[in-house]
Amino acid sequence: MARRKKEDALETREKILDAAESCFCMMGVSGTSLQEIATKAGCSRGAISWHFKEPIEILRAVLERGRLPLLDDLAFAATLEHQVLPAFRASLRKSFWLIKNDKHVRAALEILVFRCDFSGGGKEFLEAHRRELMMMRSLFCDVLERASFSKEIKLKCPSSIIASHITSALLGAIKAHFLDLGEVDLETNAVGAIEAILIAEC
């Protein structure tokens, strides 16, 4: 009986997150009310409050559920002694695949980039987004320096500059992908841009 109750609670929580994700994508974070989430989830506002003490926790959970594993994959690539660049490219392709095929990843990115005005409690997510971007750029540096150490590439300029260019190319490709409603092939554009940077600067 206790196990069934736990399963029911987890199922309700997922329904709430699914409903919130859909509402955030359609109406934006600031334009979504708890009642709209409850109606779409087919539950009461009390059920939402039981799972999430504050409304901001719903947004946090939606974004966490759709979080890309890119930072973890880059951190792993930066520890390798050989075949650093293949691991780096594999981490990017994995993220591109998830963006195209995982609905929660797609929704989280769309919400974070286009549907969150970062006012009020949203400032927390803006700061978190900035920290992740800084971490990603730092990990790009680590990967480049590790690849240089293993003689896979020869850096023509500081790794920090190359990492900044790669970060900008990646973010630009992701935004273009969403703005064109998927008509722009994310992997082709992003990989092509990043490879061009590596050829020009390494």
**Taking the domains of the chain in order of start, what are their residue ranges?**
2-63, 66-201
Average pLDDT of the chain to the nearest whole number: 90
- What's the distance, CA 16 to chain centroid? 20
What digits encode the pLDDT tens for the residues 78-92? 999 999 999 999 999
Contacts with 118 (C-beta within 8 Å, 6 or more apart), sequence order: 125, 126
Q: May I ask the CATH class of domain 2-63?
A: mainly alpha
Q: Evaluate whether 96 touches 186 at the Cβ level (below 8 Å).
A: yes
pLDDT at position 3, please? 57
The answer as to CATH 1.10.10.10 being correct for domain 66-201 is no
Tell me which residue has tokens 């992701």: 174
What digits encode the pLDDT tens for the residues 72-121? 999 999 999 999 999 999 999 999 999 989 999 999 999 988 888 766 66
Q: How far is 41 from 18, CA to CA, in rounded Å?
A: 7
- In 3-state terms the chain splits into helix, strand, coil percentages (rounded to 5) of 80, 0, 20
Q: Evaluate whether 38 touches 47 at the Cβ level (below 8 Å).
A: yes
Can you list the pairs that 3-8 forms with residues at least 24 positions away whose Cβ atoms lie under 8 Å? Answer: none
- The SS3 of residue 102 is coil
Q: Evaluate whether 116 touches 122 at the Cβ level (below 8 Å).
A: yes
Q: Model-level pTM?
A: 0.87
